[in-house]
Copies of this chain bind each other. A is one copy, B any other.
């Protein structure tokens, strides 16, 4: 590959936008072509406009970049969107209509029939929706999305199990991190010494997105997978890292050894292509009886893997286990960057040049 592609980050001052800025530092394929935000931040240098909340310090390269408005006209090859859902729908469509590839972390377009809900390890075939999308929407631009932060950690573990044994039922109870609510997000008086048993709209996403992701692309559309999912979502007093207690039943019940093997040996296209942000192991299995733990394990594989532990039989369904994913890395900005890397290998990001 000859030159780095220029990316814009829309919503650069938000918590997802900050992760984009942090993860794009020294990226081998992409460089920051523009940062954009809405409202009063436009025209300000980044470090003035942004209340930085990512644990790693703000990269020097971004401090003095000036914020543009979130409108087409940015001199970039493609855009990342970390926009809040209140405006992402319209703004992303506008960029796509103007010919930009839009790699979005927002929920607005995820469930549209011609928009891939892409996980490169699972459904790269869904990229075949893009020519259809371009044709239908009469534009060289397009929109690709990644799943909700809770969904993606879950579905990375479900995918190899579904392929090998056929999922019948999945029950998941989540313990989600505070950073998932953005900033200011959850008030400290609500978070400390407490668990919040409700996250608006979250259970609906977790109960539907996996079915699209695990569906088959056939005859120009995605046939959703068919199995039952029940989600109970909670917010706990953890900064980063969603923990999920899962139980599942299968069409062909595996032995415990077969189940562990299916998870631990899971490798797929991003690993074969050696994409820069691809985790070496998309699913990491831990043997210790008290793992995974958010604080200890969220940075395994640089936050790009799902970490699974406590795999054991379930008296109700077939097996139960805990899994963990870093909600702002693989669960948000990192997922979008991996999506863009896959698009790059297909030559789908150079349209704007």
Chain B residues near A263 (CB-CB < 8 A): none
Mark each residue of chain A from 166 to 178: 1 if its CB lies under 8 Å from any CB of chain B, else 0: 0001110101001
Are A228's CB and B315's CB within 8 A?
A: yes
Is the CB–CB distance between A230 and B320 below 8 Å?
yes
Is B315 a contact of A197 with CB atoms below 8 Å? no
The distance from the CB of A241 to the nearest CB of chain B, in whole angstroms, is: 8
Contact (Cβ within 8 A) B189 A178 = yes
| Residues in B neighbouring A309, C-beta threshold 8 A | 197
Inside 8 A of A190's CB, which chain B residues have their CB? 184, 188, 293
Contact between chains at B230 and A194 (CB < 8 Å): no
Q: In this assembly, does A341 line the interface, its C-beta being within 8 Å of a C-beta of chain B?
A: no
Q: Is the CB of B236 within 8 A of A195?
A: yes
- B-side contacts of A237, CB under 8 Å: 188, 192-193, 236-238
How many protomers of this protein does the assembly include? 4
Chain B contacts for A173, CB-based, 8 A = 173, 232, 245
Residues of chain B within 8 A of A188, CB atoms compared: 178, 185-188, 190-192, 237
Minimum CB distance partner of A248 in chain B:
B316
Instruction: Check B55 against A197 for contact (C-beta < 8 Å).
Output: no
Known contacts A173-B173, A230-B320; is-contact A239 B310 (Cβ 8 Å): no
| Best-buried of A178, A193, A295 by chain B (most CB within 10 Å) | A193
Is the Cβ of A187 less than 8 Å from the Cβ of B195?
A: no
A259 within 8 A of B: no
Q: How far is the CB of A204 from chain B (nearest CB, A)?
A: 11
The answer on a CB contact under 8 Å between B234 and A197 is no
Q: Are B183 and A189 in contact (CB under 8 A)?
A: yes
With an 8 A cutoff between CB atoms, is A250 at the interface? Answer: no
Among A264-316, those with CB < 8 Å from B are 289-296, 299-300, 309-310, 314-316
Taking a contact as CB atoms closer than 8 A, the residue among B238, B292, B317 that contacts A193 in the complex is B238
- Write the A210-227 contact mask toward B (1 if CB under 8 angstroms, else 0): 000000000000000000
Q: Cβ of A234 and Cβ of B245 under 8 Å apart?
A: yes
15 CB < 8 A contacts A-B: A57-B299, A175-B195, A175-B234, A184-B184, A187-B187, A187-B188, A190-B293, A192-B192, A194-B294, A195-B293, A196-B293, A198-B289, A230-B314, A230-B320, A232-B322
Report A's interface with B, CB cutoff 8 A. 52-53, 55-57, 169-171, 173, 175, 178-179, 183-198, 207, 228-230, 232, 234, 236-239, 243, 245, 247, 289-296, 299-300, 309-310, 314-317, 320, 322
- Contacts A171-B247, A229-B315 known; 17 new A-B pairs at CB < 8 A: A52-B296, A173-B232, A173-B245, A185-B188, A186-B189, A189-B239, A191-B191, A191-B192, A192-B193, A193-B239, A194-B293, A196-B290, A197-B290, A197-B292, A198-B289, A230-B315, A232-B320
